[in-house]
Structures are given as structure tokens and as C-alpha cells.
Amino acid sequence: MTAENPPRPLPAGTDTEIAIVGGGLSGTIAAIVLGRAGYQVTLIDRYPVFPREFRVEKIAGDQIEKLRRLGLLEALEKAAVAFDEIVNVRRGRVLDRTHARHYGIFYDDLVGAMRAQLPKTVRFVAGRVSGVEAGPERQRVSIVGQSEVTARLLVLATGMGDILKRDLGIERKFVHQRQSLTFGFNLRPQGSEAFRHPALTYYGGRVSDGIDYLNLFPAADVTRANLFVFREHRDPWVKAMRERPKETLVETLPGLVKAFGDFEVIDRVENWLTDITVAENCKRDGVALIGDAYQTSCPAAGTGVSRLLTDIERLCTVHVPQWMASPGMAAAKIAQFYDDTVKEAMDRHGLNLASFRRSLTIDTDLQWRARRQIHFSRRRILHEINKVSPAFAATLRGIGKPRAEPAT
């Protein structure tokens, strides 16, 4: 869907057909898809240029196919660094190698690349939204120091810490408070020209470390590290990781330097504590929530972008065209989006995978100890079989496949 359809005339009494609040990844892509379909869209975000904030930095797996379907893969390809092999290591030994396309990109560059695709049917407004009102016919958006925007449909794509939902009586239900910690930092090789591999994933070796995995991959002109951890945020290890990242990593993952090469951490260590939340009471007149505004994702599960792209595909290509074809925007219409079985399945998958990654990393009961053992042994054995017979390994991989892995 890359061709732009001609814009339709605006309905009486509204400034725009669809107002989208939040121009991060969700709101921006939703605006592109709707704008290309010919809807008059107003996209409002407090940042004219998205700042350097720590969010997703690696796009892979189903996310690539979804971006292709939405006509946005080319824009990603131009802005990101592509790589096709990841060496997966645990306790100093190679588990297996992942052969699939991945893209490394900083989040502000990703949002910037997408914003560059906004068609003429989308009006971008830089400003902070201070209030929203929703109803069965018309939605109102108040922007600090600017005139109000009125629309037939309001899409809230305001991310994790959104307070606007309160105006609408929509609450956040905590599925898991302080689910995981994610660290992000840049590396450069020490004592050599280059690292041993362009991309490597190093899995935690001991439950007591609480480390799920460390992703090392190229992004812009650096090697980027994303470390996914299940530990209390007040744990002294967390402070040590922020203050002495190299020493802390080398101590916790003793085989890392041998597997990847000696390194130096450059710039500061960013970290993020994630709550898993789902919006409640959201079948309301006039407003639909997408992306993190609806449900947040555990970064270790790598499902945030998959979820938001599913929200966008279902909302913008299936439901909005039906809603706009008849008058009104009552809650009964909006409910169709939340009851969409494809969306529901994706949302459930995000929650299941978040809980799976946490249990696989830190649960100590007999069941999880056994599952952990089987999980990593299976990967190692398949890797060995693959060396002799790739076809047989591929067949085995399809049999009794455990729950989906994040696209490491």
C-alpha cells in the first residue's frame, strides 16, 4: 500500500477526519497508513524531532514482514544497518547461529525515517496535548498554546506513561510491575580493529545473575549493546552495571570477551525499568488506543513493535475504513478493534512471551529448571545436527518447537 489515494472532503464541524495524539513509532506509522489511504489526518506530538530515547533498536522476524506489508520496509532499509547472522553463545560455548535479516537502528532514527514518509494528507502539529474529550460524533484535542483540533476519530498513541487516558476514564491495569530492566550502551573494540562477529547474543548462564541475554549488534556507526535483565532495580548489581559496565559484564558473563573480543564501553549506560500494563475500560465512544498506550511489552520478549504493527494493520486497514463508511463513532464500533481476534492473539502472545522469558531466566522450581535445561540443550543439539544435515535439522526444528523465541 504505497500509492497515495486522493484526499476526501472533511465532514462538517471537524478540522480533520482522524486526530492521532503521539508521534512515536505507533502514531507515525498509523498516520502514514491512514494518510496514504486518503484520510485527512492530524498527527500531534510534543517533539518536532523525536529525541534520542531508549526503546527498540533491533527490528527482526515478523516485524520486517509487517513493515513490508505496510509499504515501509524500504524506508527502514535506507536508515538502518542490515545484518544477517547472529552467533548465539551461552557459558562460553556457541549454542547456534541465527540466519535471518535483522536491522539495527536507534529509535529516534527509526521514528525520523518513518516521519519522512508522512504523506501530504497528514498535518503534523508539534505541541503538548493537555486534554482530550471523546464522544459518539466528535472528538476534541486541546493543545497547549494552540487552537483545539476536532476530529471524527481520535487515536491515542501516547506510549507508556500516558496521562491523557485519565481524561477518558481509561485505566492502566498492571499485569507485572517492574517486570524487567533493560540496559543500552555503545561498545568499541579494545586492542583490535574489529569484533569477532558483527552480531552476537550472549545468554545468561546462572539463574542468580538474572540475565536473560545481551544483544550486540551494529547500529549507526557503533556496536550497540542491549542487555535484558530480571533483577530488582535497587539491586547493587544494577548500580554497578551503570557505573562500571565493563567490569560488571566481564564478571557476570565470563566468556564474553573470548566470544566477542575485548571491548570498551563508550558514552553513558542507559537503563529502563518496564512495567507490563494493559489499558482497561477502553471500549469508549470515539477513541482507539494503539501501541504502548494500549499494552506495554517486555523488551526481552521483543514483541513491542510486532504488537504495535498489528494494532496499526488491523485498525487502519480493516476497522477504520468500515467505521468511516457510516455516520458516528460510537463505542460499539470501537469495540470491534479490541475484539479483533488477530489483535487479541498478538496481545496475548506478547504477555505470554514476557512471562516465559522471565521464568526461563529466573524461576527455580523443578519444572523451570528442567525446561531451561531442555531449551538450551535442544538448541545446541540442533546446531550440531545442522552442521551435518541442515535439512534434517530444519525438520527437527519444526517438531515440538518451544514457544516462540525473540528474534535474537
Ligand X SMILES: Cc1cc2nc3c(=O)[nH]c(=O)nc-3n(C[C@H](O)[C@H](O)[C@H](O)COP(=O)(O)OP(=O)(O)OC[C@H]3O[C@@H](n4cnc5c(N)ncnc54)[C@H](O)[C@@H]3O)c2cc1C
Residues that bind ligand X (CB under 6 A): 21-27, 44-47, 50, 54-56, 58, 128-129, 157-160, 162, 164, 182, 272, 291-293, 297, 299, 302-306, 308
Q: Closer CB to ligand X, residue 25 or residue 170?
A: 25
Cell of 359: 521464568
In angstroms, give the least distance from the CB of 53 to ligand X. 7
State in angstroms the smallest separation of the CB of 402 from ligand X: 19
Nearest residue (CB) to ligand X, 56 versus 265: 56
CB 187 within 8 A of CB 54: no
Q: Which is nearer to ligand X, 184 or 205 (CB)?
A: 184
**Shortest distance in whole angstroms from residue 46 CB to ligand X:** 4
Q: What angle do CA 178, 305, 331 make, to 5 degrees?
A: 85
CB of 387 to ligand X, least distance (A): 29
Q: Which is nearer to ligand X, 329 or 353 (CB)?
A: 353
CA distances (Å), 358 to each of 152, 180, 182, 230, 319, in order?
Answer: 41, 8, 13, 7, 34
Residue 110 Cβ vs ligand X, minimum distance, rounded to whole Å: 9
Q: Which is nearer to ligand X, 53 or 137 (CB)?
A: 53
Neighbour tally for 245: CB within 10 Å: 20
Q: Which is nearer to ligand X, 76 or 192 (CB)?
A: 76
Helix (H) or strand (E) holding 280: strand 263-280
Whichever of 44 and 225 has its CB closer to ligand X, that residue is 44
CA distance 383 to 375: 13
Run of H or E residues at 110? helix 107-115
d(CA 136, CA 334): 10
Helices (H) and strands (E) in the chain, counts: 13, 15
Sign for the pseudo-dihedral over CA of 68, 71, 75, 76:
negative
Q: Closest distance between ligand X and the C-beta of residue 149, in Å?
A: 12
15/137 with CB nearer ligand X: 15
Q: How far is the CB of 181 from ligand X (least distance, A)?
A: 9
C-alpha cell at 24: 512515536
Residue 168 per-residue DSSP state: G
Minimum CB distance to ligand X, residue 356 (Å): 15
Burial of 307 (0-12, 13-18, 19+ CB in 10 A): buried
Give the residue with the Cβ less far from ligand X, 272 or 368. Answer: 272
CB of 146 to ligand X, least distance (A): 11
CA atoms within 13 A on the CB side of 238: 17
Element (H, E) at 355: helix 341-362
The strand pairing partners of 229, in sequence order, are 181, 211
Helix or strand or coil: residue 313?
helix
| Residue 274: how many other CB atoms lie within 10 Å | 23
Q: Which residue is nearest to ligand X (CB)?
A: 24
